[in-house]
Chain A
Amino acid sequence: MKPVSVVRLFALATATTVLAVAQTTNPFANDQKAVDVGRGMFRIYCAACHGIHARGGLGPDLTRGVYNCGELDADLFRTISQGVAGTEMEGFGEALPAESIWRIITFLRSVSSVGTSSPVKGDPVRGKDLFWGKGNCGQCHAVNTRGGRFGPDLSRIGRERSYEFLRNSVLDPSLDISDGYRTLTVVLRDGRKITGIERGLDNFTARLLDSSGNFHSFDKSEVTSVRRETRSLMPDNYGQILSATEVDDLLAYLSGLRGEARKK
Chain B
Amino acid sequence: MRLRILIVISLAVAASGQDTGWLTYGGNDAGWRYSELKQIDTANAAQIVPKWIYQTKLPGSMETTPLVDGGLMFVTGSSNHAFAIDARTGKQIWHYTKTPPKGLALCCGEVNRGFAKIGDTLFKVNIEDHLVALNAKSGNLLWETEIADYKKGYSGTVAPLAVKNLVLVGTAGAEFGIRGFVDAYDANTGKRVWRFYTVAAPGEPGGDTWQGDAWQRGGGSTWVTGTYDPELNLVYWGTGNPGPDMNGDVRPGDNLYTCSIVALDADTGKLKWHFQTTPHDSHDWDAISDPVLVDLNVGQRKVKALIQANRNGFFYTLDRTNGELLVAKPYTKVTWASGISAKGRPNLVAGQDPSEEGTVSCPGLGGGHNWQATAYSPQTGLYYFGSTDGCHIYYKTKYEPIEGQWYQLSTVDDVKHEPASGSVVAVNPASGETKWRWEMLDAPSGGMLATAGGLLFTGDRYGYVIALDAGTGKVLWKFPAGAAISAPPIAYSLGGKQYIAVAAGSDIITFGLP
- The proximity string for A residues 194-211 relative to B, scoring 1 for CB distances below 8 Å and 0 otherwise, is 000000011110000000
Q: Is the CB of B411 within 8 A of A44?
A: yes
Q: Is the CB of B399 within 8 A of A13?
A: no
Q: Is the CB of A39 within 8 A of B366?
A: no
A41 to B105, CA, bound (A): 13
CB interface residues, A 15-48, toward B, < 8 Å? 15-18, 33, 36-37, 39-41, 43-44, 47
CB of B94 closer than 8 Å to a CB of A: no
Q: Is the CB of B104 within 8 A of A41?
A: no
Q: Is the CB of B106 within 8 A of A6?
A: no
Closest to B443 in A: A3
Q: Is the CB of A39 within 8 A of B397?
A: yes
Q: Is the CB of A100 within 8 A of B460?
A: no
CB-based A-B contact count at 8 angstroms: 110
CB of A69 closer than 8 Å to a CB of B: no
Chain B interfacial residues counted at CB < 8 A: 50
CB of A263 closer than 8 Å to a CB of B: no
Q: With A40-B399, A43-B397, A201-B441 known to touch, is A5 a contact of B106 (CB < 8 Å)?
A: no
CB of B230 closer than 8 Å to a CB of A: no
- Within 8 Å by CB of A203, from B358, B417, B460, lies B460
Closest to B411 in A: A43
CB distance from B96 to the nearest CB of A (A): 21
Chain A interfacial residues counted at CB < 8 A: 35
* Of listed B109, B284, B413, B414, residue having the most chain A CB within 10 A: B413
- The proximity string for B residues 307-337 relative to A, scoring 1 for CB distances below 8 Å and 0 otherwise, is 0000000000000000000000000000000
- Within 8 Å by CB of A7, from B399, B406, B413, lies B413
Closest to B409 in A: A40
Closest to A201 in B: B441
Q: Is the CB of B398 within 8 A of A36?
A: yes
CB of B291 closer than 8 Å to a CB of A: no
* Of listed B399, B440, B442, B486, residue having the most chain A CB within 10 A: B399
A230 to B415, CA, bound (A): 12
Q: Is the CB of A17 within 8 A of B104?
A: yes
CB of A10 closer than 8 Å to a CB of B: yes
Residues of A within 8 A of B105 (CB): 15-16
Interface residues of B (CB under 8 A from A): 102-110, 284, 358, 364-366, 370-371, 392-393, 395, 397-400, 402, 404-406, 408-414, 416-417, 419, 440-443, 445, 460-462, 464, 466, 478, 484, 486
Interface residues of A (CB under 8 A from B): 1-7, 9-10, 12-18, 33, 36-37, 39-41, 43-44, 47, 52, 97, 100, 176, 201-204, 228, 230
A-B contact pairs, 6 of them (CB 8 A): A1-B284, A6-B364, A33-B399, A202-B441, A202-B464, A203-B460
